[in-house]
Structure 1
C-alpha cells in the first residue's frame, strides 16, 4: 500500500512537471512569435519602393512588415483609426490631426527625395534662375532660346492627380515667385497656368519622353530615357543640379525643430527642391510590439539601409538627422 501511494504520488508529480514543461514551451514559442512576428503599416506612395526593399531585408531577421502604399492621406486616416501598427506620410501631421490620436504621435524622418525639373531637349544644358523656373510654369517663357539654348518650343507637363510631389514643387515656386504665390499657390493639386497633365511620376516621365521640348517635374528617380535634370538656383544664387550629395546638403541645412517636422521650400545650400518623408509611430500603447517596432525603425535608419537610397532614386538622410530620428524611434513605448 505504501508502494502504491508512492507510485501514485510520483505519477502525479511527473504529470505536473510535464504540464509545466509544455506550458513553458508554449510561452516561449509565443514570445518568439511576437518578437519575430508581423507588423502592418500603410501610407505614402513616394517612399514605397525603398520601404519595400528595406522590409525585404528585415524579413531575414524575422520581422515581416506588410506595407500598403495607399498614399499619405489614407495612411494618416488608417493611423488615426489605429488599424495599423504605424503609418507613413510625405507631409507631417498638423497639431489638430495629432490631437485626434489618443496614444500620441512620434514623427520620424526616414528618407528623403529631390524633385527634379526634367526636360527633353538633347544638346541643351539647362541652368535656371528662380525667375526663369517660375516663368516656365507660369507660361511666360515658351521657347528654349529664351533660356540660352537653340530654338525649340517648350511644352510643359504637370501632374493631373493630387500628389505630394506637386505640393513640394509648388511650395518651392510659391517661395521664389510672388506672382506664383498670388495667382496659383501651393497644394497637392493646383490650377496650372499652362501645360498638359499626366498621372503619377511614371506618367509625367513617359509623357516627357514622348514630347520634344517637354519640361516638367518628377522625383529624381524618374529622370530617365531621353530626360535630363536642369540645374536650379537656390536661395544663395547658386545653380545646382540634383544629386544625392546636393540634395543631402540642402536637407542638412533644414532645421527640423524639436518635433522633427520642419522644412524649407527654398534652402540656401545644395539643390533647393527637396523633402523629407515621415514614419508615423504611436508614442504609447505599443505593448508587446514595441521591440519589433524599434527593431524595424532602427534597421531603416541603419547605415546599410540608408546607403541603398541613391540607387533607388532617394536621398540618404544627413548623419545629424539619422541621429535625431533614432532618438525619436527610441522614445516610443
Structure 2
C-alpha cells in the first residue's frame, strides 16, 4: 500500500480560484478516525459496489484508496465497464451505484424507479475533457476543428497532410501518413460526449451518424474497449488517432490536438480550459445538461460524470457508507487535489452544495 497522499502546494492557487471546497457540509464529527484535517470521523462498514464509465475510473480509484485510509472497515469497489454498462446495471438494480458520462433521461429514471418503491437519484461529481490523442509525439498541438474531426472519423479525410488539416496548420510540416481513427467499441459515455459535440457542430455528422453512446462507425475505423483500450490502440498503431479522457492522455504522455472552439480559438485541453468550459454550463434542477458552444478560452469537447443512486432500498450501513463516500468526494480538499492532478475539474462551490442536497436523499425514504 502506498503512503497516504500529501497535499500538493503547487495546486493551491487553482483550488482557491476555481474549485474552493465547500466547508461544513460533511458528516458530523464522531468518535474514531482522523481525516488528516483535524476532524474526527465515523468509522463506516460494509461493501459498496459500483460500476460504469471508464472516463472517471483513474480518479475514482484514487478517491477510493484515499478515502479508505481513514475507513479501514469499509470496502468500495468500482468497475470500469463503460457508461452503457453503468446505466444498464443501475436500471437492472445490480449495482449499489452506477456511473455514466451520459445523464439518465426521464424515461431511464422512471424505469429505474420501478425497481424500488421510490425515486432514482442522479448527480454530477466531476468534469473532464475528451481529447484527440495521437500515436506520434510530433503531432502534439496539431490544430483540428469539429469539421475536420468529423471528416476523419467519416474516412473522408484519411491522411495527415490532407489540405483541410494543412489549412488549419499553415506553418506546420505534416507527414504523408495514413490516419487510423480509433473509437470505443463498447457502450460509452465518452463516445456520447464526443459524438454529441460533433452532432451539435457538424451538419454532416448529425445527418449521417447523430449522437449516442454506441453508434455505427465508418468502415476503416478501429475499436477499443474502454478508454484503456482506445489508449492502447492509439499507442500501438502507426498513424493512430483516438478520443480519450484527458487523464488517460496525461497518464501515458500522449500528444494531443488543439481544438478550435466556438470563438474560433484553437484550445489546448488543459485543466484551466476544462474549468472554463464547465463554468459556462447552465445546470437545471434535474441535472440533465450538456456542455455546448464553449468559447473564450474554454476547451470545446468537455463532459460530465454522473452518479446514480436510490432514495430507498439500502440497508442502513450501506446507505451511510454511500452517503459518506460521495460527501467526502464533494467536501474533501484532498479529493479536489487528486482530481486536479489527474486532469479533472472539480465542481464549483454552489454546484457542490446542490449535489450535497441530492446525496442526502440517498435512502431518505
TM range (shorter): 0.7 to 0.9
Change (3 A) 1:246 1:227: same
The 2-side partners of 1:112 and 1:319 are apart by 14
Change (3 A) 1:75 1:222: closer
The aligned residue for residue 98 of structure 2 is: 87
1:177 maps onto 2:202 in alignment: yes
User: Mean Cα displacement is larger for which, 298-307 or 207-216?
Assistant: 207-216
Is the counterpart of residue 262 in structure 1 residue 289 in structure 2?
Answer: yes
Which residue of structure 1 lines up, in the alignment, with residue 6 of structure 2?
Answer: none
Structure 2 residue 311 is the aligned partner of structure 1 residue 283: yes
Which position in structure 1 is the counterpart of 2:272?
245
1:308 maps to 2:330: no
Residue from 50, 53, 61 that aligns with 1:52: 61
Deviation, 1:285, is 4.8
1 or 2, which has the higher helix percentage? 1
- For 1:246-299, what per-residue CA distance to the aligned partner results, in whole angstroms no more than 9, with x for missing partners? 112111211121012211244335111111111112124556244333221111
CA distance in 2, matches of 1:121, 1:284: 50
What is aligned with 1:228? 255
Whose radius of gyration is greater, 1 or 2? 1
Counterpart for residue 155 of structure 1? 179
- Which residue matches 1:274? 302
SS in 2 for 1:308: helix
The yes-or-no answer on 1:73 pairing with 2:48 is: no
Contact 1:127–1:232, Cα closer than 8 Å, also in 2? yes
**Bigger mean CA offset, 164-173 vs 281-290:** 281-290
**Structure 2 CA distance, aligned partners of 1:171 and 1:249?**
19
Q: Aligned partners of 1:205, 1:81: CA distance in 2, in Å?
A: 30
Q: Distance in 1 between matches of 2:137 and 2:66?
A: 39
Structure-2 change in CA distance of 1:122 and 1:278 (3 Å) = closer
Range with bigger deviation, 174-183 or 216-225: 216-225
Could you tell me which residue of structure 1 aligns to residue 348 of structure 2?
318
Question: Cα–Cα, structure 1 residues 114 and 260, in superposed 2: closer, same or farther, change >3 Å?
Answer: same
Against the structure 1 CA distance between its residues 118 and 284, is the aligned structure 2 distance closer, same or farther, given a 3 Å change threshold?
A: same
Please, what TM-score do these two structures have when normalized by structure 2? 0.74
2: CA distance, partners of 1:66 / 1:187: 27
Query: What corresponds to 1:130 in structure 2?
Result: 146
Structure 2 unaligned spans of 5+: 1-41
* Cα distance, 1:94–1:60 mapped onto 2, change above 3 Å: same
Query: Which residue in 1 is equivalent to 2:30?
Result: none
Structure 2: how far apart are the matches of 1:209 and 1:287? Answer: 45
How far does residue 81 in structure 1 lie from its aligned partner after superposition? 4.4
Q: Is there any run of 5+ residues in structure 1 with no aligned partner, and where?
A: 1-33
Which piece of structure 1 moves more, 176-185 or 139-148? Answer: 139-148
Question: What residue in structure 2 maps to residue 140 of structure 1?
Answer: 156
Which moves more between the two structures, 217-226 or 172-181? 217-226
1:152–1:213: 8 Å Cα contact kept in structure 2? no
Alignment partner of 2:231 out of 205, 208, 219: 205
- The 3 A distance-change label for structure 1 pair 213 and 293 is closer
